[in-house]
C-alpha cells in the first residue's frame, strides 16, 4: 500500500474473487460431512477464500486488534452519566494490559495496538506502547454544531489507514476493530441513522445503561444534529457533522484492510458505524467484513442489516473495546482450517450417500 492516502485506498478496494468463492463452495460440498452441516462456518470459509483470492485460503493469522480512542463534545449535552476523563484513564488501562480487551486478546493470541486519535484529557507519558496520533482534543458538541471539520475527519481517516498499513506490513493476517470514547454511542447512532435513513428513535440505545430521561435527551440530540444534514451531503460531510475521531479512524482502518485484501472483524455499534461510513466511501468494503458479534445497541442491528452482515456471536455484549470481535477470532480462523485440513470423501475413502 506504500503511502497511499485514504482516498486512494478507497478507490482501490476491488470485489472479492468470484472464482475462489466458487471453488470454496465446491470444496465444502466434497468435505467429509453432510453438505451445509457446518452452517455459518462454511459461509465464513467461502468468504475468506474470496478475500484471499485462493482456495483454500491461508489461515488469517496473526490478528492485530487496533483500539482507537477519542472523546466527544456531545457529552456536554447530557447523553451519558460518565465524564470524558474516563477515556484517558481507560487508555492507560489498555496500555497497562488490564482491560477486558487485553485479557481477551491474550486469550486468542492477538496483538493489541492502542491509538490516541482524539482523546481530550492528556494520557500519561508513561503509557507503554501508545500510538499518539491525536487529531484534536475530542470533537465539538454535535448538539450545537458540526462535530469536527472535514479536514479533521479526513486526517482521522488517514490515521486509521496508516495503522492498518503498519499492522499488515508487520505481518497481520487479520485486522480487528476496537474503540474507546465516552459518549461514542451517540455519534455512532447518528451516523447509522444518517446513512441507513433510519429514525433516530429506532437506532438510539441506552449505551452504558442510561435511564429513560437521558435516553430522551440523547434521542433529541441526534434528531437535532441529523436535521442539519442536507439531502445531498457527501460521506465526508456527514462524518464531520455527526461523527467522531475514533470512528473516522476506524473507517480508515477498515478501508485500508479491504484495499490490501485482508479480512476485518468488526466489533459492536461503534465499529458498525465506522463500517457504514467506510462502505459509503467504497461500496465493496462489506465483502471484506466479518461481524464479530451483535451488540445489544439497536443501531448495531440496523447497521448490520444495512451492510448485509450476519454476526458470528450474539452474547448480549455492549462493552466495546473490540471485546466481541476478539472472541470471534478463533472461529474465523477455524473456518479457514476446515477448508485447509478436512479430508474430502475421495481422499479419505469415505462413501458419499447415493444420489436420489
Judge if 291 and 317 occupy the same domain.
yes
323 in any annotated domain: yes
Which residues lie below 8 Å from residue 39, measured CB to CB, with a gap of 6+?
none
From 42, 241, 297, 321, active-site residue: 321
The confidence score (pLDDT) of residue 348 equals: 67
The SS3 call for residue 206 is: coil
The confidence score (pLDDT) of residue 3 equals: 78
Judge if 44 and 187 occupy the same domain.
no
The CATH number for 32's domain is 1.10.1610.10
Q: Give the Cβ contact number of residue 21 at 10 Å.
A: 20
User: Which residue shows C-alpha cell 440530540?
Assistant: 221
8 in any annotated domain: no
Judge if 109 and 205 occupy the same domain.
yes
321 has catalytic annotation: yes
Judge if 302 and 245 occupy the same domain.
yes
Provide DSSP, 168-192.
HHTT-SEEEEEEE-TTTHHHHHHHH
Asked, as a colleague might, if the bond just before 47 is cis with ω within 30 of 0, I would say no
User: Which residue shows C-alpha cell 488517514?
Assistant: 158
Judge if 151 and 282 occupy the same domain.
yes
Q: Give the Cβ contact number of residue 299 at 10 Å.
A: 30
Task: Extract the C-alpha cell encoding 237.
Answer: 460531510
6 in any annotated domain: no
Judge if 313 and 203 occupy the same domain.
yes
Judge if 150 and 102 occupy the same domain.
yes
| Half-sphere exposure of residue 185: CA atoms within 13 angstroms, side-chain side | 29
Task: Extract the C-alpha cell encoding 39.
Answer: 452452517
Determine contact, residues 306/280, Cβ cutoff 8 Å. no
Determine contact, residues 238/150, Cβ cutoff 8 Å. no
Report how far residue 227's alpha carbon sits from residue 92's, in angstroms, rounded to the nearest whole number. 37
103-128 CB burial, b ≥16 within 10 A, e <16: ebbeebebebbbbbbbbbbebeeebe
Determine the structural domain holding residue 308 and report its residue range: 63-331
Judge if 33 and 142 occupy the same domain.
no
3-state secondary structure 234-250: CHHHHHHHHCCHHHHHH
Q: Tell me, rounded to whole angstroms, the distance of Cα 326 from its chain centroid.
A: 11
Predicted structure pTM score: 0.96
The confidence score (pLDDT) of residue 253 equals: 98
- The residues that bridge with 23 in the sheet, in sequence order, are none
356 in any annotated domain: no
CA torsion through residues 113, 116, 117, 119, sign: positive
Judge if 46 and 167 occupy the same domain.
no
Q: What is the pLDDT along the chain (356 residues), one digit of tens a residue?
A: 567 899 999 999 999 999 999 999 999 999 999 999 999 999 999 999 999 999 999 999 999 999 999 999 999 999 999 999 999 999 999 999 999 999 999 999 999 999 999 999 999 877 889 999 999 999 999 999 999 999 999 999 999 999 999 999 999 999 999 999 999 999 999 999 999 999 999 999 998 889 999 999 999 999 999 999 999 999 999 999 999 999 999 999 999 999 999 999 999 999 999 999 999 999 999 999 999 999 999 999 999 999 999 999 999 998 999 999 999 999 999 999 999 999 997 876 766 665 44
Count structural domains, the chain: 2
256 in any annotated domain: yes
Choose among 133, 15, 10, 13: nearest CA to 69: 133
The confidence score (pLDDT) of residue 13 equals: 98
Amino acid at each position: 500500500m506504500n503511502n497511499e492516502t485514504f482516498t486512494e485506498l478507497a478507490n482501490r478496494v476491488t470485489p472479492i474473487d468470484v472464482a475462489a468463492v466458487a471453488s470454496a463452495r465446491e470444496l465444502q460440498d466434497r468435505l467429509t460431512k453432510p453438505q451445509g452441516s457446518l452452517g455459518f462456518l462454511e459461509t465464513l470459509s467461502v468468504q475468506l477464500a474470496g478475500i484471499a483470492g485462493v482456495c483454500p485460503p491461508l489461515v488469517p493469522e496473526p490478528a492485530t486488534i487496533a483500539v482507537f480512542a477519542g472523546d466527544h463534545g456531545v457529552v456536554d449535552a447530557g447523553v451519558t452519566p460518565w465524564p470524558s476523563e474516563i477515556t484517558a484513564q481507560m487508555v492507560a488501562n489498555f496500555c497497562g494490559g488490564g482491560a477486558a480487551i487485553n485479557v481477551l486478546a491474550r486469550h486468542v493470541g492477538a496483538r493489541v495496538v492502542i491509538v490516541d486519535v482524539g482523546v481530550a484529557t492528556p494520557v500519561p507519558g508513561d503509557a507503554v506502547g501508545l500510538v499518539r496520533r491525536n487529531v484534536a482534543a475530542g470533537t465539538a458538541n454535535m448538539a450545537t454544531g458540526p462535530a469536527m471539520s472535514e479536514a479533521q475527519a479526513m486526517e482521522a481517516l488517514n490515521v486509521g489507514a496508516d495503522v492498518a498499513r503498519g499492522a499488515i506490513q508487520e505481518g497481520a493476517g487479520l485486522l480487528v476493530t476496537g474503540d474507546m470514547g465516552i459518549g461514542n454511542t451517540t455519534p455512532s447512532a447518528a451516523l447509522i441513522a444518517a446513512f441507513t435513513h433510519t429514525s433516530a428513535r429506532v437506532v438510539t440505545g441506552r449505551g452504558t445503561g442510561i435511564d429513560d430521561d437521558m435516553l430522551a435527551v440523547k434521542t433529541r440530540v441526534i434528531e437535532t444534529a441529523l436535521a442539519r444534514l442536507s439531502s445531498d451531503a457527501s460521506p465526508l460531510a456527514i462524518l464531520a457533522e455527526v461523527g467522531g475521531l475514533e470512528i473516522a479512524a476506524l473507517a480508515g482502518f477498515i478501508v485500508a484492510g479491504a484495499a490490501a485484501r485482508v479480512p476485518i472483524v468488526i466489533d459492536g455499534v461503534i465499529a458498525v458505524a465506522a463500517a457504514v461510513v467506510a462502505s459509503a466511501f467504497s461500496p465493496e468494503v462489506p465483502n471484506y467484513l466479518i461481524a464479530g458479534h451483535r451488540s445489544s445497541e439497536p443501531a448495531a442491528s440496523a447497521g448490520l442489516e444495512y451492510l448485509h452482515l450476519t454476526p458470528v456471536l450474539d452474547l448480549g455484549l455492549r462493552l466495546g473495546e473490540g471485546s466481541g470481535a476478539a472472541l470471534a477470532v478463533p472461529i474465523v480462523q477455524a473456518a479457514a482450517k476446515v477448508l485447509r485440513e478436512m479430508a474430502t470423501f475421495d481422499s479419505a475413502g469415505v462413501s458419499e450417500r447415493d444420489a436420489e
